Structure formats: structure tokens, C-alpha cells
Amino acid sequence: MKTRTPQILQAATGKPIKLWTEGVPVEEEARQQLLKTARMPFIFKHLAVMPDVHLGKGSTIGSVIPTLGAIIPAAVGVDIGCGMIAARTSLRAGDLPDNLHGLRRAIEQAVPHGKTFGRHDQGAWDEVPLQADQAWRALAARFKAITDKYPRLEKTNNRQHLGTLGGGNHFIEVCLDEADRVWFMLHSGSRGVGNAIGTQFIELAQADMRQHLANLPDRDLAYFEEGSRHFADYVEAVGWAQDYARQNRALMLQAVIGAARQVLSRAFETSLEAVDCHHNYVQKEHHFGQEVLVTRKGAVSAQRGQLGIIPGSMGAKSFIVRGLGNQEAFCSCSHGAGRSMSRTQAKKQFNVADQERATAHVECRKDKQVIDEIPMAYKDIDAVMAAQRDLVEVVHTLRQVVCVKG
């Protein structure tokens, strides 16, 4: 297959921006935000932009930001370690009941979710489960070392949120692949504690740079230089939040499997194929002969042979992919379809009847509280996948039959 050249966006000052967005619209506000980030003096070589790109806080969602000797906390964001996990089971489509409402309700009862009841000590969930408590114990010592320096973080719902979904675009799905095999898949991150870590360090970066904020393209591009007083602490806190997020997804997946076993009343395997990937994080990597810090803001690592997950909206298909190791993209791919409009705009433009039609083939909520997640509020996932065929190859195509939204 012939490799295509990405579109180049060049700022008057700053590094080039390479966009894998052929056939996918990019809003002008996102372009302007990218141009601001490209002006930062420590950007390494160029920014890489994925086809799900859209306006974000701090920096553009769907962007890969390589830096030398500095990190922008707002570019990493507050949903640190947010990502996906998926597992193929030995179940087939025919093993599922004709009416999937009972399975959806069982999953909803097994996993705390939503903004109102998204923790273990609220609503139907009156205590932290043993597995979540054990997982927390493995994380607790490192967290204490962080809170000894930053005591404000100690008050977060760190234990109560471990093993919970959250709200917004976080979800749990039961899917079928191209061979009608059943997969469980979910999307979530480091919950309230990750948000608190991100928020505190964004504030600290802005406070440290108070005298220089006026010279930044955007105050949310405030950064820590390597060797500064908060740099190492931030790297440690982000690494911890990523571990928390991974544990969070693993706990929920086990809860989903347990709920399915109760409803289906049959034995099945769940470890036939498994994928777990972050899409909001920063880590050191080796690119173009140098060690650099790579921030993926709504992007997934796609090293050659590495598996990843690219979900569509709650009414569209999703993909298990294998990375092609495209160096120009810093070995990355998109983290999903990407929003085509804001949540506020979606609520104004669509109604419950629209949601019912768009998700007629999926057992899911169909009420006004989820209209901001309606499939039409997202980009065309087929166009997004076509734009990044130099970045990944499709291994499995999944279509959801059950979707639980936070």
C-alpha cells in the first residue's frame, strides 16, 4: 500500500503540524488551537494530529505533542490515563438472550456509573468491594507519598471511585465482531483523583509562570521545565494516575463478566484476546534518535504490532487495531471518532426521538440525559478510519448490541 503524505499546517512561527485528516472536517477553532501549541519553544520536530481532532481545553483533543525538557499539564488534561479495555469471550451471538434488557440492567447494577451514583458508597453501592479494596492497597503507598507533598489530593474519592465508570463519554458495551463472537469493552480513566491531580498541577504550572502567562499563546499552555520544583512530582503523579486508571478498567471488566455469568447462566472463557490502552497521558519515548516526552491528548500508541482500540459512537461500530509504527505520527492513532459538535449544540439540535432512531439496534438508554452522546454528535468513524490507514490496520470490527452510559 502506498504511504500518503499528511497535510501540513505551518504556523508563522513554531514547528510544523502534520494532520492525518484527509476526508475528515477539522474545525477552525481546533486549527487555531494547534497553531498556538506549535509555537511553544520546546516542541520536538512537529505536532502529529489524528483524524478525530477537535477543540479541547488546554490543547487539541486528537493531538500528539512531543516535547524536549518540558511538559504542559493542561495538554495531558484532567482525565489522566483515560482509555479502553476489551476482551473477547468464547460466547457467540446465539448465546445471548433475544431481549438484552436484562443483561444491560445487570451490568448497570454491577458497576457504579453516572454523575449521581458513580461511587461505591452511594445509591445501590453501599461499600467498597473486596477486589477494589485490594487494588487500592497496592496503590496506596505511592499515593501517600504524593499527598504528603500535595495534601489537597488526599480528600479525593480515590477508594470509592476505583472500579466505577463515571459519566460523559465513558461507557460499557457488549459487542459482536465480524464472526459474531461476543466482546466486552469499556472506556474510563482515573476518575476524581485523576481530575484532582490534573487540576492541581495545571494551577501550579500557571502559578509558577505567573509573570510569563501574558507571553504564552494561551494560559493553559503553562508548563513545567525539566528540573523545576514540580516537574518530577508531576511525572510521578501522572504515572500513578495511569496505573489507577488501568486498575479501574480491570475491576470494571471483571464486574461486567460476573454480571454476564449471572444472566447467561453458562460457562464461558474471557481471556481469548484482550487489549488495554491509555489515550490521555504522557511518557518518555525514543523518536528520531532522541528521547522525548510524548503527550497523547486523545490519541493511542500505535507502535508496530501494538494492539489498540478505536471506538465509534454509541450507535456506530468500533475497531480493534494493530499499529503500523508510523514514525511521522510518533507511532500514534486516533482514540475514537471524535466529536463533531459540542454537547450543548447536540442537546439543542437533537431530541429523544432522534436518539431512539439512531440507537434502534442497541440496547441502551434512550432519554434526554444522553442526547449529548447521540451518534450524530460524532464524526463518521469510517472516514476517521480511512484517514489513518497509514497508522493502523484493522484486526476486528465490532458492533455494539448493549451500551451502558455513565
Q: Which residues, 6 or more positions from 24, have their beta carbon under 8 angstroms from its beta carbon?
A: 51, 52, 338, 379, 380, 383, 384, 387
If you search the block for the grid coordinates 474545525, which residue do you land on?
27
What is the C-alpha separation between 319 and 250, in angstroms, rounded? 20
Phi-psi region of 88 (alpha: psi -120 to 50; beta: other; left: phi over 0): beta
If you search the block for the grid coordinates 479494596, which residue do you land on?
133
**DSSP state at residue 339:** B
If you search the block for the grid coordinates 459487542, which residue do you land on?
175
Using DSSP bridges, classify how beta strands 392-405 and 318-323 pair: parallel, antiparallel or unpaired: antiparallel
Q: Which amino acid, residue 237? A: A
Question: What is the 3-state composition of the chain as percent helix, strand, coil, each rounded to the nearest 5?
Answer: 35, 25, 35
What is the C-alpha separation between 116 and 121, in angstroms, rounded? 11
Phi-psi region of 256 (alpha: psi -120 to 50; beta: other; left: phi over 0): alpha
Strands (E), 102-204: 121-122, 125-126, 171-176, 181-188
Q: Is 361 known to be catalytic?
A: no
- Catalytic pick among 113, 187, 278, 335: 335
Q: For residue 195, give the nearest of 74, 293, 66, 336 by alpha carbon.
A: 74
Q: Which amino acid, residue 216? A: L
Query: Following DSSP, what letter does each residue of 237-280 receive, concatenated?
Result: HHHHHHHHHHHHHHHHHHHHHHHHHHHH-S-----SEEEEEESE
- Which residues belong to the active site? 335
